[in-house]
């Protein structure tokens, strides 16, 4: 994995080499092993390399035979050996053994359509010197990021937003619409980012930029149109899925460096680790997070998995104090406000991986979205059943299967609250967003902490729903309800939060590449055709994945109820010895000066968090605190004091200068 950055300027200004050096200096954590720059009168491409394939010969930028096509690439193409042999048979000549060089030759043969041939995770920039045209592209699921700022014939792009801000010509301000989105669905929606004018290339899209302007096109999107198209037995579905997952894991082990795995103790990561250990790597090393707070700790399940799989295992212990201390660095890397502290332990985990001299890990991310593993899918099913008889006293009792610990409380008040909570919008089953209405409504209540000015800018109540619905496929309402809910989760939460703030950014902060077998596009496309009752069987989540895994991992692990990954929040910032930045950024004067939140309301929230021993801080209040503090940090580090950390400009840069 690497970092890419660049400038395409069709005005009179030639891209400045010193600026390109600063841009990749801000991405040094993504690629500390080598650096390269290409320049001509229009284009400037810069690359920070994390060496994983072809360690000696794969430095970038890379070109084709006549140097008319140049590329910088962040990612991996897992089917590159097959593509390479095919290209060689057609007469292409290679000067490296890297997967990156395959791309320039594929482009020569197919143009932008070459993207359909790739099985990988990537953000890339390809400069076609003959056509004076840049192609930017992002992988199908959005595993790797691409950001850009375009104005008046000039395009600045990079793997992270901070690299764009090396250019003083780009204004730095937080985007009010994006803040409203984050305090609704946890992430900026669509192409928005937390910063005004900075956009992200959507997953499964590419952009062509020339003197005529920017033209953005999709080349792939998740679809459930083919669901129910094949009549097959459960055994047949299971067998084909097992073969696909095995191959997806196999090709993700391709590397010239050791490959490890994350092991949380849940079904997904335990299955991947078991598959790799049994089939491909008998000396697999695994890594996990342990929490000092038992409410969040999964160590007993991790120990069972380790005992069964017999891996060489390393654990990083994470305390509330640890989370508070690393939180500013977490926000520096997320480049967006977040409503949970969950990325912080993953930041520490990638640090552990790097300390053990690993650059690559396989993870179980994506299985919950692809195979319907979240409670939100069960809630949707229960609520639709309940909505057929809204006055039923028995149907809402099904919620007990989702939240038994609430129903076990004796006084009945918690149960009454839960029923009231899930009754909201109960009969609006014809809404395309039905599955997520409650989550969005509940999260949007956090906007009560917005300042009067920000609330005025973002006051339209149903605006987010309308924007989301306007982007849906034309046949969306013909899909079954579970497929609709999965699509919603995959296109909002998966790419814009899970694979970003908890994925790419936390791993690459320590120069670690995550690989995701469950997000092989072949697996995703196949899973979308599996009948919904095999994805969610009654209220049994990931039913078919459990059938695949049952002979590979202990039953106590594949049968255990799903435990969502969470981390403590308020106590991380209001412990015995709180971090200094908390008081500085959450003071009434600091809140008023930044202008995003209501000073008095924030002060009341802080007072409650400081006195937790006598007051229960609700989940919503915890999320509000994380969102407010991370927004204040973002403003402090990117708007007022950029860059918040030193720029480590590379000293030894290979430069191709054609100006």
Q: What pLDDT digit, counting tens, does each position of 623-647 carry?
A: 999 999 999 999 999 999 999 999 9
Closest among 591, 605, 599 to 635, alpha carbons compared = 591
Confidence of residue 428 (pLDDT cuts 50, 70, 90): very high
Whole-number pLDDT of residue 576: 76
Whole-number pLDDT of residue 229: 66
- pLDDT for residue 409 is more than 90: no
Confidence of residue 614 (pLDDT cuts 50, 70, 90): very low
- pLDDT for residue 410 is more than 70: no
In this structure, the number of other CB atoms found within 10 A of the CB of residue 407 comes to 15
H-only helix segments in 397-518: 399-402, 404-407, 413-423, 437-444, 452-457, 463-469, 481-488, 505-508
Q: What pLDDT digit, counting tens, does each position of 185-227 carry?
A: 999 999 999 999 999 999 999 999 999 999 999 999 999 997 6
- The two beta strands, 62-63 and 43-49, are unpaired
Greatest alpha-carbon pair distance for the chain in Å reads 77
Q: What pLDDT digit, counting tens, does each position of 58-101 carry?
A: 999 999 999 999 999 999 999 999 999 999 999 999 999 999 99
**Separation between Cα atoms, residue 13 and residue 239, nearest integer Å:** 58
**Separation between Cα atoms, residue 522 and residue 16, nearest integer Å:** 41
Domain boundaries, the chain: 2-221, 234-371+488-558, 375-483, 570-640
Residue by residue, DSSP assigns 396-424 as GGGHHHH-HHHHTSTTSHHHHHHHHHHHT
Phi first, then psi, for residue 4 (nearest 5°) are -120, 150
**Separation between Cα atoms, residue 74 and residue 350, nearest integer Å:** 18
Pick the residue with more confidence: 364 or 294? 364
User: Could you tell me the pTM of the whole model?
Assistant: 0.97
The helices-and-strands tally (H runs, E runs) of the chain is: 29, 18
pLDDT averaged over the chain?
95
Run of H or E including 140: none
CB 483 within 8 A of CB 372: no
Same CATH fold assignment for domains 2-221 and 234-371+488-558: no
Whole-number pLDDT of residue 411: 62
- pLDDT for residue 139 is more than 80: yes
Phi first, then psi, for residue 209 (nearest 5°) are -120, 125
Q: What pLDDT digit, counting tens, does each position of 266-311 carry?
A: 999 999 999 999 999 889 999 999 999 888 999 999 999 999 999 9
Q: What pLDDT digit, counting tens, does each position of 141-193 carry?
A: 999 999 999 999 999 999 999 999 999 999 999 999 999 999 999 999 999 99
Q: What sign does the CA torsion over 337, 146, 121, 141 have?
A: positive
Domain range 234-371+488-558, CATH class:
alpha beta
Whole-number pLDDT of residue 408: 66
Superfamily per CATH, domain 2-221: Aminohydrolase, N-terminal nucleophile (Ntn) domain (3.60.20.10)
Run of H or E including 308: helix 299-309
For the chain, give the percent of residues with pLDDT over 70: 98
Residue with tokens 């660049």: 6
Of the CA atoms within 13 Å of residue 257, those in its CB half-sphere come to 18
Label residue 475 exposed, middle or buried (CB < 10 Å: 0-12, 13-18, 19+): exposed
For the chain, give the percent of residues with pLDDT over 90: 89
Q: What pLDDT digit, counting tens, does each position of 39-54 carry?
A: 999 999 999 999 999 9
Closest among 27, 34, 32 to 3, alpha carbons compared = 27
- The two beta strands, 360-362 and 513-515, are parallel
In Å, how far are 338, 382, 428, 588 from 388, measured between CA atoms? 36, 10, 11, 49
Confidence of residue 564 (pLDDT cuts 50, 70, 90): confident
Label residue 398 exposed, middle or buried (CB < 10 Å: 0-12, 13-18, 19+): middle
Q: Give the mean pLDDT of 14-20.
A: 96
Residues 465, 471, 476, 480: what is their CA dihedral angle, to the nearest 10 degrees?
-50
Confidence of residue 435 (pLDDT cuts 50, 70, 90): very high
Q: What pLDDT digit, counting tens, does each position of 102-117 carry?
A: 999 999 999 999 999 9
Q: What pLDDT digit, counting tens, does each position of 260-271 carry?
A: 999 999 999 999
Whole-number pLDDT of residue 228: 63
CB 115 within 8 A of CB 135: no
Whole-number pLDDT of residue 231: 83
- pLDDT for residue 433 is more than 90: yes
Closest among 206, 207, 181 to 194, alpha carbons compared = 181
- pLDDT for residue 615 is more than 80: no
389 secondary structure, DSSP code: S
Confidence of residue 13 (pLDDT cuts 50, 70, 90): confident
């Amino acid at each position: 994995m690497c970092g890419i950055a660049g400038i395409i300027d069709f005005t009179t200004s030639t891209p400045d080499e010193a600026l390109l050096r600063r841009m990749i200096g801000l991405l040094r954590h993504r690629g500390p092993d080598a650096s390269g720059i290409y320049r001509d009168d229009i284009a400037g491409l810069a690359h920070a390399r994390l060496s994983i394939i072809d360690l000696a010969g794969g430095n970038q930028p890379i070109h084709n035979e006549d140097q008319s096509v140049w590329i910088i690439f962040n990612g991996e193409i897992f089917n590159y050996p097959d593509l390479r042999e095919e290209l060689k048979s057609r007469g292409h000549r290679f000067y490296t053994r890297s997967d990156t060089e395959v791309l320039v030759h594929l482009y020569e043969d197919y143009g932008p359509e070459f993207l359909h041939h790739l099985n990988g995770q990537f953000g890339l920039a390809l400069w076609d010197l003959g056509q004076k045209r840049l192609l930017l592209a992002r992988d199908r699921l959005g595993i790797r990021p691409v950001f850009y700022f375009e104005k008046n014939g000039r395009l600045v792009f990079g793997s992270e937003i901070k690299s764009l801000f090396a250019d003083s010509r780009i204004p730095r301000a937080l985007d009010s619409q994006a803040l409203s989105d984050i305090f609704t669905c946890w992430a900026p929606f669509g192409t928005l980012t937390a910063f005004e004018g900075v956009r992200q290339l959507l997953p499964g899209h590419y952009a062509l930029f020339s003197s005529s302007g920017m033209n953005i096109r999709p080349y792939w999107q998740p679809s459930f149109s083919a669901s129910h198209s094949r009549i097959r037995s459960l055994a047949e579905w299971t067998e084909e899925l097992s073969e696909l997952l095995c191959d997806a894991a196999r090709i993700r082990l391709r590397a010239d460096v050791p490959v490890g795995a994350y092991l949380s103790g849940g079904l997904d990561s335990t299955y991947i680790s078991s598959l790799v250990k049994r089939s491909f790597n008998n000396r697999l090393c695994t890594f996990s997070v342990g929490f000092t707070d038992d409410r969040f700790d999964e160590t007993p399940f991790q120990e069972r998995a380790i005992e069964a799989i017999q891996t060489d295992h390393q654990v990083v212990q994470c305390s509330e104090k640890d989370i508070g201390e690393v939180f500013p660095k977490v926000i520096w890397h997320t480049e967006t406000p977040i409503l949970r502290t969950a990325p912080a332990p993953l930041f520490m985990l990638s640090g552990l991986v790097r300390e053990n001299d690993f650059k690559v890990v396989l993870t179980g991310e994506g299985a919950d979205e692809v195979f319907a593993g979240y409670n939100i899918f069960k809630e949707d099913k229960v609520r639709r059943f309940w909505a057929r008889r809204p006055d039923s006293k028995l149907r809402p009792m099904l919620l007990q299967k989702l939240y038994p610990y609430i129903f076990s409380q004796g006084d009945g008040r918690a149960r009454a609250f839960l029923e009231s909570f899930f009754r909201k919008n109960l009969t609006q089953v014809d809404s395309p967003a039905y599955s997520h209405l409650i989550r969005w409504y509940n999260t949007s209540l956090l906007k009560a902490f917005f300042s009067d000015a920000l609330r005025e800018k973002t006051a339209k109540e149903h605006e987010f729903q309308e924007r989301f619905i306007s982007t849906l496929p034309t046949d969306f309402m013909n899909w079954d309800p579970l497929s609709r809910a999965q699509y919603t989760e995959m296109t909002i939460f998966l790419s814009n939060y899970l694979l970003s703030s908890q994925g790419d950014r936390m791993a690459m902060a320590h120069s670690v590449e995550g690989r995701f077998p469950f997000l092989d596009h072949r697996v995703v496309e196949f899973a979308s055709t599996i009948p919904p009752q095999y994805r969610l069987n009654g209220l049994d989540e990931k039913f078919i994945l459990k059938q695949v895994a049952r002979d590979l991992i202990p039953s106590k692990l594949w049968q255990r109820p799903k435990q969502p990954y969470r981390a403590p929040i308020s106590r991380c910032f209001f412990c015995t010895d709180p971090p200094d930045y908390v008081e500085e950024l959450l003071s009434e004067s600091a809140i008023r000066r930044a202008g995003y939140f209501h000073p008095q309301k924030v002060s009341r929230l802080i007072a409650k968090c400081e006195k937790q021993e006598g007051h229960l801080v609700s989940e919503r209040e915890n999320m509000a605190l994380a969102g407010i503090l991370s927004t204040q940090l973002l403003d402090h580090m990117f708007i007022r004091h950029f860059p918040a950390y030193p720029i480590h400009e590379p000293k030894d840069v290979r430069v191709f200068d054609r100006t």
